[in-house]
């Protein structure tokens, strides 16, 4: 039986009089973010973020044909935050079978926009539905409620949300976020279920750069030049060269590796002919979703 996790937030306040706008109680400030208030308060909070933005979201959408939409604006603001070295991490619902293929296709599009901007994204485990809509900003602001980052929620629906300014409340939800983060998997933000035949092996990828660009690919080879470091915002990442015969390709992965130089590994991830991060450009790189040790001859896939 599928487990469905719902966040039920109960906040008890001793307030005399009506609640209007915001209310302070014992070093806690609460703002009403119902309906359209959510977008304006949320994007303002993201704009002002200095250190970290951690998000858990059931649905997140990006609409290529509606560049001025509210959900696109929120995603673009996350990217701008990342460009100024704010640590941005996102946990998304990965899409169980009952949600349908259209759900995961649209979810992965938003995911790919974030990942291409070097924002860390993870999908929740398949056996769990993550129905939360939560932001934690700078370890002092919590935005929580019913609003997904989709057009009808942001622009049409009646939605109930609040923003809580409190370090102690933020820490409680940060602990919750960390549990979800470490139980989730790095997102492979493509709509394919398996790598394309033309994109199996380093040689095939490099011979079909335009075709494989943005697609799920798989490559095997020897690890060399392994380098793990932390970004200015504290995100741990690893890069290395994957070598097979005379061919090589760059690999990028979030986190620390469980393999070493000269190990033979299989990498599954998204190939980028060119990936721009701020003012930098990276060429011929696989952004790894999964890496595992293998004993298969890497030259056999070229």
CA quadruple 108, 112, 114, 118: dihedral sign: positive
Tokens describing residue 225: 């030049």
Does 119 share its domain with 44?
yes
Does 30 share its domain with 173?
yes
Which residue among 186, 217, 243 closes a domain? 186
Is residue 12 domain-resident? no
The pLDDT value given to residue 81: 93
Is residue 211 domain-resident? yes
Specify the CATH number for the domain of residue 207: 2.40.50.140
Is residue 214 domain-resident? yes
Does 163 share its domain with 269?
no
The pLDDT value given to residue 218: 93
Per-residue pLDDT of the chain (302 residues; tens, 9 = 90+): 444 444 333 333 333 233 334 455 568 899 999 999 999 999 999 999 999 999 999 999 988 777 788 999 999 999 999 988 899 999 999 877 677 777 888 888 888 888 878 788 999 888 889 999 999 999 999 999 999 999 999 999 999 999 999 999 999 999 999 999 988 887 767 655 577 788 999 999 999 998 888 778 999 999 999 999 987 656 688 999 999 988 999 999 878 899 999 999 999 988 888 876 656 778 999 988 789 887 654 444 44
Buried b (16+ CB within 10 A) or exposed e, 156-192: eeebebbbbbbeebbeebbebbeebbeebebbbbbee
Which residue among 166, 186, 206 closes a domain? 186
Does 125 share its domain with 222?
no
Range of the domain at 181: 22-186
Residue 189, Cα to own-chain centre: how many angstroms? Answer: 9
Specify the CATH number for the domain of residue 104: 3.30.870.10
The pLDDT value given to residue 11: 37
Buried b (16+ CB within 10 A) or exposed e, 241-271: bbbbeebbbbbbbbeebeeeeebbbbbbbbb
Q: How far apart are CA 217 and CA 146, in angstroms?
A: 36
Does 172 share its domain with 203?
no
The pLDDT value given to residue 27: 80
Is residue 8 domain-resident? no
Is residue 16 domain-resident? no
């Amino acid at each position: 039986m599928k487990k469905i996790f719902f966040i039920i937030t109960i906040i008890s306040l001793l307030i005399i009089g009506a609640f209007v706008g915001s209310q302070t109680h014992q070093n806690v400030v609460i703002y009403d973010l119902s309906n359209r208030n959510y977008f304006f308060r949320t994007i303002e909070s993201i704009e002002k973020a200095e250190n970290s933005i951690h998000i858990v979201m059931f649905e997140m959408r990006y609409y290529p044909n509606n560049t001025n939409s509210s959900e696109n604006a929120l995603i673009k603001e996350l990217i701008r935050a990342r460009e100024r070295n704010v640590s941005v991490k996102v946990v998304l619902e990965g899409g169980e079978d009952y949600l349908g293929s259209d759900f995961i296709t649209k979810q992965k599009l938003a995911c790919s926009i974030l990942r291409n901007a070097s924002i860390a994204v993870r999908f929740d485990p398949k056996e769990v539905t993550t129905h939360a809509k939560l932001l934690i900003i700078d370890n002092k602001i919590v935005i929580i409620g019913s609003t997904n980052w989709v057009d009808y929620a942001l622009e049409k629906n009646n939605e109930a949300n609040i923003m809580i300014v409190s370090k102690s409340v933020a820490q409680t939800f940060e602990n919750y976020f960390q549990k979800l983060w470490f139980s989730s998997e790095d997102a492979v933000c493509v709509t394919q279920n398996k790598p394309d035949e033309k994109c199996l092996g380093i040689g095939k990828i490099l011979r079909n750069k335009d075709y494989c660009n943005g697609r799920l690919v798989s490559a095997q080879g020897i690890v060399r030049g392994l380098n793990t470091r932390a970004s200015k915002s504290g995100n741990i990442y690893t890069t290395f060269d994957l070598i097979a015969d005379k061919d090589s390709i760059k690999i990028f992965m979030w986190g620390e590796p469980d393999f070493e130089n000269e190990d033979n590994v299989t990498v599954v991830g998204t190939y980028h002919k060119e990936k721009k991060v701020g003012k930098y450009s990276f060429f011929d790189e696989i952004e790894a979703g999964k890496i595992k040790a293998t004993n298969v001859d890497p030259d056999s896939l070229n």
